[in-house]
Amino acid sequence: MTETGGLWASIKETVKTIVYALLIAGIFRTLFFQPFWIPSGSMKDTLLIGDFLFVNKMAYGYSYASCPAVKIPRFGIDLGPEDFCGAFMGADDRLFGSEPERGDVIVFRHRGKGEDYIKRLIGLPGDTIQMRDGLLYINNEPVQVTDAGEFVETTAAQGPQRSRPGCAEVVNDDQCIKYRSRETLPNGVEHDVLNTRDGNRVTATIDTDNTPIYTVPEDHYFFMGDNRDNSIDSRVPWNPASGTGVGYVMREDIEGRADRIIFSSAGSSILAFWTWRKDRFFKAIE
């Protein structure tokens, strides 16, 4: 074999190895687990900006939303599950499907915006949901709430988006305080919720502390963020004209359940090791 022939053979083997690795990774991501970074503070203090987790796609079975997304802004690539598996949209049932449970933290596809969202499942099909003076009512019954102290963080910009947290009050110039409560859902699931102020409006027209009664349609779900005054969720109907809101989420738009945080970084880059939150590595999500 000539030197040139040996070089080409080596290149071919390298390319084959890369292709096989990408295929295996793609199959693994499509069928089992999908990586997900937390970009915003809407799920504090359950999930913090910079948390990294894997979404369990096996938890609820498979739909078009289980297909992978490929987004590389630098090269103008933005392909979603709709592009790969759009032929399966509108299917009557999920493959190997099982029902989500109230209180699960779930990643779903925002069909209007073509983006992945992560929120907590609050309302099941047929439920009525309402917020009254910041208190959650499910089927006209208030959920149990107990005081859980304060959640304190710095007022500094957070994550790659450099967003600053909303605060109920600021002390010592840089300590951002939110009021924390422990909420118990009707099925016994307990989780923390945060409050920054009463009557906070996340849009110009919706007071998310005092809402109409929402009746969840069949095959739909109602989601809310744990950081209640900093979450645009099912309390805000989807408005295509303004590109805001979420509204009810269709069953087939659910991608999977978030079970455990794998890694967490408080800085703007994953390489800034001095900002790693070691106490959140492999932390279970409540």
Burial class (CB in 10 A: 0-12, 13-18, 19+), 26: middle
Q: How far is CA 134 from CA 30, 145, 215, 286, in A?
A: 38, 11, 18, 21
Cα–Cα distance, 38 to 142 (Å, whole number): 30
Cα–Cα distance, 142 to 33 (Å, whole number): 35
DSSP 10: H
Q: Which of 40, 42, 181, 234 is catalytic?
A: 42
Helix ranges restricted to H, the chain: 3-31, 81-85
Q: Which of 44, 57, 119, 178 is catalytic?
A: 119
Annotation says 42 is catalytic: yes
69: left (phi over 0), alpha (psi -120 to 50) or beta: beta
Output the DSSP codes for 226-238.
SBGGG--STTS--
Q: How many helices (H) and strands (E) are present in the chain, helices listed first?
A: 2, 18
Annotation says 234 is catalytic: no
For the annotated catalytic residues, the residue numbers are 42, 119
